[in-house]
Chains A and B, each alone.
Chain A
Amino acid sequence: MLRLENVHKSFGGIVALHGVSFHVEPHSITGLIGPNGSGKSTSFNVISGFYSKDRGEIYFQGKKIEDIEPYKIAMMGIGRTFQISEAPEKMTVLENLLLAPKNQIGEGVFDVFLHPKKIKKEDRKHLKNAFEILELIQLHDLRNEYAGNLSGGQKKLLSLGRILMSGPMLILLDEPTAGVNPTLIKDLIVAIKNLRDEKGKTILLVEHNMKVISEICDRVIVLDFGKKIAEGTPEEIQKNEKVLEAYLSGSSKRG
């Protein structure tokens, strides 16, 4: 599904990715973990095109992704959320959701005037879908509220909702449960699992909550200092000595 080969990325003197290679199996949930500064977010940004990589190759569904603009990568079917959940503040929750579907007819200036009926029909379809998603992310009562008035956790849910609306093949989730209350986390876990089991999506997620990781991930990839140091099932990872060392002795070694 997704394969990174020897990817390098540095910012000035700081090496964020130092030859990262890993792959993500189709229809799986893969966790990407590691101490702070290990290169998780940078990996996400490189995959989704927000950073251009220095070296190495990324393949998506067997096709090499060149250095192209982020919106083109989104168009290929890679969707992502952001660690700091951005949400258009002065747009309502529903508007946020309706924004997400790709290639809407009504996004063309002339189409707005030439095909009003088609646009209306398409909007109806998206709206129906949006109401289903609202139930899932439990924002139904807040549907006409400005996204800027939502709490941090609710914004996380909204960004998951937008991803569901745009329907990518591969979903990159950056800390989907950070700031979300424990009861809602349980629902989120169910929702993410459903994406894999019912919709056949592939998910790669960065997460610090080990409970979430061990509950939903099929495989876990551990990064440290911009390199993959371990890979395996959540159980294997928790016993892996290299991983324990990276997490436990992290700060003193880094000095």
Chain B
Amino acid sequence: MGLINFLVYLAIMMGIYGILSLSLNLQYGFTGLANFGQVAFFCLGAYVSTIIVLTFDMPFIFGLLGGMAVACVFGYVIAIPTANLKEDYWAIVTLAAAEIVRIFFLNEDWVVGGGPYVGGSFGVGGIPQPLRSLFSAHTYPFFYLAIVLVCLFATYIIINTLTQSPFGRVIKSIREGGDNLPQAMGKNVKKFRVKVMAIGGSFGGLAGCLWAHFHGFISPDQFMPLETFIVWAMVIVGGKANNKGAILGAVIIMVFYNSTRFLKDYIPVEAVTLASLRMVAIGILIVVAMLFMKEGFIKEKRVVYSK
């Protein structure tokens, strides 16, 4: 039973990070936007959904939609002044934006709506799980896994449809041709970048919401910049600009990330050290991927048109 529970937990994590990875893949893999603040969307989704459900006593679905909406608006807003920046500056700005979001939640603990929102550095606990009362403790994770998989599937379909459409062609040309070429063909480059950030933001928010309601507890220290780089590892290892690759990357990295549970029985190293070593392992994986498989496990698919 223990193993099955663990596998369900692992699958849920893979699903949630798969959504995050798909979102970053749309931004970086397809549009070339080096978002180093992906965790901001995750954090906003988690917090906004928690606040809506917990303090306003609203159903889960409103939390989910609210979290997505706020993360979407956040993506939109940070993209407006930064849309003309070059890749490296974009990375700096997004990294800073994500830290601002985290530090905001670290320092705020106001009272809102129906009850006090005790946040701040203590975090927020007791986040209700949707439809929890209908299931037993054993069966509930399976139900939650189903929710996560439905969300992952929907995200995949939406992002994949977008990237294969004329919209997808334009964002790829922005990735490839910088600003000049798409502009000379009448494409409003800035507007496309802003749109991509808004879409990426809403799915990042979705992942955060799913994460918060699964764990039942969130705190600002769960949304450190390191989380962003785990998602980057997924995109790089899995295969950038390939949506299946982004999901595969999430699966691979999550296996690595959780492998310490088993390794501790075989490797004579303390559990704490081992937990730190997993980040080293992911780092090595990124380096290996960049050296030997520049395009990741699944390469970008060449678009072939027939007459």
Which A residues are within 8 Å of any B CB, using their own CB? 48, 50, 69-71, 74-75, 79-82, 86-92, 94-95, 98-100, 102-109, 112-113, 119, 123, 127-128, 131, 143-144, 146, 162, 166
With A107-B166, A109-B167 given, is the CB distance from A71 to B183 under 8 Å?
A: yes
A166 to B181, CA, bound (A): 13
Which residue of chain B lies nearest to A82 when distances are taken between CB atoms in the complex?
Answer: B180
Q: Which of B122-130, B144-152, B171-179, B212-220 has 4 or more CB atoms under 8 Å from chain A?
A: B171-179
Are B173 and A50 in touch, CB under 8 angstroms?
A: no
Residue B264 is within 8 A (CB to CB) of chain A in the complex: no
Q: A121 CA to B8 CA in the complex, in Å?
A: 44
For residue A166, which residues in chain B have a CB less than 8 angstroms away from its CB? 185-186
Task: For B183, list chain A residues within 8 Å (CB).
Answer: 50, 69-71, 74
Tell me, rounded to whole Å, the shortest Cβ–Cβ distance linking A120 to chain B: 10
Contact of A98 among B180, B195, B305 (CB under 8 A): B305
Bound: A131/B305 CA distance, A: 10
Apart from A74-B184, A88-B172, A88-B173: 13 A-B pairs, beta carbons within 8 A = A70-B180, A71-B187, A71-B189, A80-B184, A82-B184, A87-B177, A90-B241, A94-B305, A98-B169, A102-B185, A107-B167, A112-B167, A127-B307
Closest to B192 in A: A107
User: Given that A48-B184, A75-B186, A98-B305 are contacting pairs, would A86 and B162 also be in contact in the complex, using a CB cutoff of 8 Å?
Assistant: no
B140-162, CB < 8 A from A: 158, 161-162
Interface residues of B in 179-206 (CB under 8 A from A): 180-189, 195, 199
B interface, by DSSP: helix, strand, loop or mixed? helix
Which 6 residue pairs across A and B have the least CB separation, nearest first?
A106-B166, A88-B176, A74-B186, A70-B183, A102-B186, A112-B165
27 contacts between A and B (CB under 8 A): A48-B184, A50-B183, A69-B183, A71-B185, A74-B183, A81-B184, A82-B181, A86-B180, A87-B181, A88-B173, A89-B176, A90-B176, A91-B169, A91-B176, A92-B302, A94-B305, A95-B303, A98-B166, A103-B186, A109-B195, A112-B162, A112-B165, A112-B166, A119-B166, A131-B307, A143-B305, A166-B185
With A92-B303, A98-B169, A108-B167 known to touch, is A50 a contact of B180 (CB < 8 Å)? yes
Q: Are B185 and A162 in contact (CB under 8 A)?
A: yes
Chain A residues near B188 (CB, 8 Å)? 69, 71
With A107-B166, A144-B304 already in contact, the answer to whether A79 and B173 are too (CB < 8 A) is: no
Decide: B173 and A106 in contact? CB cutoff 8 A: no
Question: Please, which residue of chain A has its CB at the minimum distance from the CB of B303?
Answer: A95
Q: Does B254 contact A (CB under 8 A)?
A: no
In whole Å, how far is A244's beta carbon from the nearest beta carbon of chain B?
A: 34
Measured between beta carbons, the chain B residues less than 8 angstroms from A109 are 162, 167, 195, 199
B167:A144 contact, CB within 8 angstroms: no
B interface list, Cβ under 8 A from A: 158, 161-162, 165-167, 169-170, 172-173, 175-178, 180-189, 195, 199, 241, 300, 302-305, 307
Nearest Cβ on chain B to A193's Cβ, whole angstroms: 23
Q: How far is it, in angstroms, between the C-alpha of A112 and the C-alpha of B199 when the chains are bound? A: 13
Question: From residue B300, how far is it (CB to closest CB) to chain A in Å?
Answer: 7
> Are A99 and B185 in contact, CB atoms less than 8 angstroms apart?
yes
Pick from B184, B303, B305 the residue with the most CB of A within 10 Å.
B184
Determine the chain A residues whose CB is within 8 A of the CB of B173 once the complex forms.
88, 91, 99
Q: Is the CB of A71 within 8 A of B186?
A: yes
A223 to chain B, nearest CB (A): 22
CA distance A7 to B178 in the complex (A): 28
Shortest C-beta distance, B73 to chain A (Å), equals: 15
- Please report the C-alpha to C-alpha distance between residue A87 and residue B184 in the assembled complex, in whole angstroms: 12
Distance in Å: Cβ of B70 to nearest Cβ of chain A: 19
Is there contact, CB below 8 Å, between A104 and B176? Answer: no
B86 smallest CB distance to A (angstroms): 16
CA distance A3 to B302 in the complex (A): 43
- Do A127 and B167 have beta carbons less than 8 Å apart? no
Complex CA gap A69/B190 in Å reads: 11
- In the complex, what distance in Å separates the CA atom of A69 from the CA atom of B305? 32
Q: How far is the CA of A103 from the CA of B134 in the complex (A)?
A: 50
**Min C-beta distance of B85 to chain A, whole Å:** 16
Chain B residues with Cβ under 8 A from A71's Cβ? 182-189
CB distance A123 to B166 under 8 Å? yes
Cβ-defined contact, B185 with A74, below 8 A: yes
Contacts A74-B183, A166-B185 given; does A90 touch B166 at CB 8 Å? no
CB distance from B175 to the nearest CB of A (A): 8
Taking a contact as CB atoms under 8 Å apart, the answer to whether B184 and A70 are in contact is: yes
Contacts of A123 in B (CB 8 A): 166
Question: In the complex, what distance in Å separates the CA atom of A108 from the CA atom of B180?
Answer: 20
Q: Is the CB of B195 within 8 A of A90?
A: no
Please give the distance in Å from A129's CB to the nearest CB on chain B.
12
A103: chain B residues at CB < 8 Å are 186
Contact residues in B for A100 (Cβ distance below 8 Å): 185
| Beta-carbon contact of B161 and A88 below 8 Å | no
Determine the residue in chain A with the shortest Cβ distance to B295: A90
- Chain B hits for A86, CB < 8 A: 177-178, 180-181
